[in-house]
Amino acid sequence: MMMKLRSWNKPIPNLLQSPQRSMPLPCLFCIKSPSPLFSSTPPPTSPALLDKILTIRDPKISVIPVLEKWVGDGRAIGKQELQSLVRLMKSFRRFNHALEISRWMTDRRYFNLSSSDAAMRLDLIRIVHGLEHAEHYFNSISSQLRTSNAYGALLCSYVRERSVEKAEAIMQEMRKLGFATTSFPYNVLINLYAQVGQHHKIDLLIQEMEMKGIPQDIYTVRNLSAAYVANADISGMEKILKRIEENSEFRADWRIYSIAASGYLSAGLETEALSMLKKMEEKIPPRKNKSAFEFLLSLYERTGRKDELYRVWSTFKSSIKQIDVPYALMITSLVKLDDIEGAERIFQEWESKCTFYDFRVLNRLLVAYCRKGLFDKAESLVNRAVMGRTPYASTWSVLAMGYVEHGLMSKAVEMLKRAMLVGRQDWKPNQDILEACLNYLEEQGDGETMEEMIRLCRSSGTVTKEMYYRSLRTSIAGGKPVLSILNQMEMDGFSADEEVHKILGTKTSCSDW
């Protein structure tokens, strides 16, 4: 099927004619319409209250006591302020706390839930508890709240989960209810079809928009451009770019040039990519440019031009308030360009400026050290950082992976145990690292450490029957009793099956051991 931007009445090359190949989706694939679901901007939250909430960084620790004490001390807090808090927590990716505040707003303060509040809560439930819980919430809300906002939030949830059938079904409901009257749901579906490779369906959406008189906006054409990039159709991307630049109804911004640069780089057209990056820089606004800066760093890293990477860094870093992500990105970019010394300098600069020690920044340099086998540097870096601080489980996990890759298994086991001891409730050990460590312990006949690892896995909810098989084999090989292992296995809900009897070499009951 010929895919066309029919409102321009000029054909666009068929996406399906391009050679099929596996390639990463462009970094701008998340772009769609600015969501009308949460578009209102509530007044700012009290700085004092916000500071108290922000001090609670662990998602397992509730922020509700802070809110209860605030009102208990006689200080007012209105609905709009709470709405602002929910949005702020979500923007900071503190989804558990955002959901807590959303529920407290209605359950304890008894403020009525608006349709946009319900849409926000649905999205947070999906992030925190999963899609099934979000669907249950959608089905539980009243018909008054089940407006285009709620339907739009559910549609977005299906798109983020890449659930094509469910997304199409909810879109059909939106059509029947008269909710599919703006470009937003169409842009979201274009995004989905591009990600899953169903490009032929995009043309049908464009036709439907034209038939219904729904105008395409800049977000529509951005997503179309990204779809062409994903399918390695540079010609199609160029046609859209040309029309955006020529059509006064559209405003070419840094995002469209970022998509184009990504497409050219994927196609190996570096000269054209550099031209797009220059245009992208010209379009970056002087303020609120954090996302643009991050994309720009990533794209210049892909060109392999270290001098340009440093130039961009020097140009934009002073205007960025939230420094953690850009510094982490710059460190990774320099590491990919084999500039370890440069990465070290950037890390030291970050350490001297940071007000909160985010171990994820450290992890970027740690990965580089581990890959190169620089374990003295790696451990020195971590040991200095953990003085007076609790590291993330991922920090120890990075070290464990490095030791596994270099065959230093006793160190890998030690680091994995440390990771599991500090892991948060929802943290799970990397299965490859865990498997390698358990293999090593079985080969060494180290039943004691094996049992310790199983205890740690039980705490993180990752214990399996296969782990007990290993523990039994290890203990039997070492001539040690296994009754305690069998008892614990039963306590964890794993019955003695055929494999257990095979390992024991008998059909007797567990009590005989």
Q: What is the DSSP string of 60-85?
A: TS-SHHHHHHHHHTT----HHHHHHH
| pLDDT of the residue at 345 | 96
Q: What is the pTM of this model?
A: 0.74
CB 138 within 8 A of CB 154: yes
Q: What is the domain-level CATH number for residue 452? A: 1.25.40
Q: Residue 185 pLDDT > 90, yes or no? A: yes
Q: What is the DSSP string of 212-226?
A: HT----HHHHHHHHH
| pLDDT of the residue at 509 | 46
Specify the range with the lowest mean pLDDT, choosing from 35-49, 75-89, 227-241, 403-417. 35-49
Number of separate helices (H) and strands (E) present in the chain: 27, 2
Reported as a single tens digit per residue, the pLDDT across 266-316 is 999 999 999 999 999 999 887 767 888 889 999 999 999 999 999 999 988
Residue 411 lies in a domain: yes
SS3 of 492, please?
coil
| pLDDT of the residue at 40 | 52
Q: What is the mean pLDDT of residues 176-198?
A: 93
| pLDDT of the residue at 108 | 81
Residue 255 lies in a domain: no
Residue 110 lies in a domain: no
Which residues, 6+ apart, have CB-to-CB distance to 171 below 8 Å? 155, 180, 185, 189
Residue 298 lies in a domain: no
Reported as a single tens digit per residue, the pLDDT across 466-497 is 999 999 999 999 888 889 999 998 888 888 88
SS3 of 5, please?
strand
Distances from the Cα of 148 to the Cα of 102, 156, 182, angstroms: 20, 12, 11
Calpha distance 391→294 (Å, rounded)? 25
Reported as a single tens digit per residue, the pLDDT across 117-168 is 999 999 999 999 999 999 999 999 999 999 999 999 999 999 999 999 999 9
Residue 150 lies in a domain: no
Torsion of CA 19, 20, 21, 27, to 10 degrees: 100
Q: What is the mean pLDDT of residues 386-395?
A: 91
CB 223 within 8 A of CB 53: no
Domain count, the chain: 1
Residue 461 lies in a domain: yes
Check residue 20 and report its DSSP letter. P
**Nearest CA among 287, 285, 231, 289 for reference residue 259:** 231
Q: What is the mean pLDDT of residues 203-214?
A: 93
| pLDDT of the residue at 322 | 63
- Residue 452: give the domain boundaries: 392-508
Which one has a higher pLDDT value, 30 or 425? Answer: 425
Specify the range with the lowest mean pLDDT, choosing from 43-57, 71-85, 230-244, 367-381. 43-57
Q: Show the tokens assigned to 432.
A: 């490859």
Computed over every residue of the chain, the mean pLDDT equals 86
Residue 371 lies in a domain: no
Residue 449 lies in a domain: yes
